[in-house]
Amino acid sequence: MPQSTDRVAIVTGGSGGIGRATARRLAADGLAVVVHHAGNQDRAEEAVDAVTRAGGRAVSAGGDVADEDAMRAVFDVADARFGGVDVVVHTAGIMPLAPVAQMDLDTFDRIQRTNVRGTFVVDQLAVRRVRAGGAIVNLSTSVTRLQLPGYGAYAASKGAVEALTLILARELRGRDVTVNAVAPGPTATPLFFEGKSQEAVDRIAAMNPMERIGTPEDVAETVAFLAGPARWVNGQVLYVNGGAA
């Protein structure tokens, strides 16, 4: 695809593993990128530096994804620095794990606030700001199919993300804006490795026929496809998991 010099992307959670890889991948396609963070400004600035060292344009912006005022300010940064928004990739989310019987309800509420309300807030702003020819890409999870014990609260939140994605695609009839979700399988990020033994990692890797854990770059490649050339892919959930489900 020809490099774009005037398209602008916001990547929420851009300081994290998948978000960071996505910011770099979109910048490689010529998009200017707003790298959002929820608090880890240093990591976001590292992502910005990586983009600018490679010849791209990027800036960081922080805020709670579930806070509409904070996220409106992030969109304002895109307008002020780069002149608008064409692509919104919503990767920000949290993943506390516990069996349903043991999940603390305050933790459950925190998961839903960040993952469900946060997606709704970001998507609502995206609908109001993204220009024609643009794309909205939400992050779901392959756990909605794999049904792994301990992931109940997280999978429930991502099931809501998928429902919102598919309905929003249809609400934007006539706007020339695509809305899709990417559902990664186990991906080599700090969030994935936290609290797992090497034995557990190896067991999870063996669940797919590729017999490895996915990389953030694997996911970012699919996001870039949806953000750029995939204009005939709309209202879909793409599973990026090496064939695990």
Taking the domains of the chain in order of start, what are their residue ranges? 8-94+116-140+165-240
- Closest by alpha carbon to 122, among 87, 160, 158, 88? 88
State the pTM of this model.
Answer: 0.95
Please report the pLDDT score of residue 194 as a whole number. Answer: 81
Q: CA–CA distance from 75 to each of 108, 160, 175 (Å)?
A: 28, 23, 19
Active site residue 151: no
CB-facing half-sphere around the CA of 214: CA atoms within 13 A: 26
Collapsing DSSP states into helix, strand and coil, what is residue 102? helix
- Per-residue pLDDT tens digits for 125-165: 999 999 999 999 999 999 999 888 999 999 999 999 999 99
Instruction: Tell which CATH classification among 1.10.1370.30, 3.40.50.720, 3.90.1300.10, 3.90.1150.170 matches the domain 8-94+116-140+165-240.
Output: 3.40.50.720
| Structure confidence at residue 193 as a pLDDT band (50, 70, 90) | confident
- Residues 192 and 230: their CA atoms lie apart, in Å, by 28
Catalytic residue among 82, 108, 151, 154: 154
Mean pLDDT of the region 23-31: 97
pLDDT surpassing 80 at residue 1: no
Mean pLDDT of the region 11-30: 96
Please report the pLDDT score of residue 242 as a whole number. Answer: 94
Order across the sheet with 178-184: list the strands.
58-62, 32-37, 8-12, 85-90, 130-139, 178-184, 237-240
Please report the pLDDT score of residue 3 as a whole number. Answer: 44
pLDDT surpassing 60 at residue 42: yes
- Closest by alpha carbon to 103, among 158, 146, 154? 154
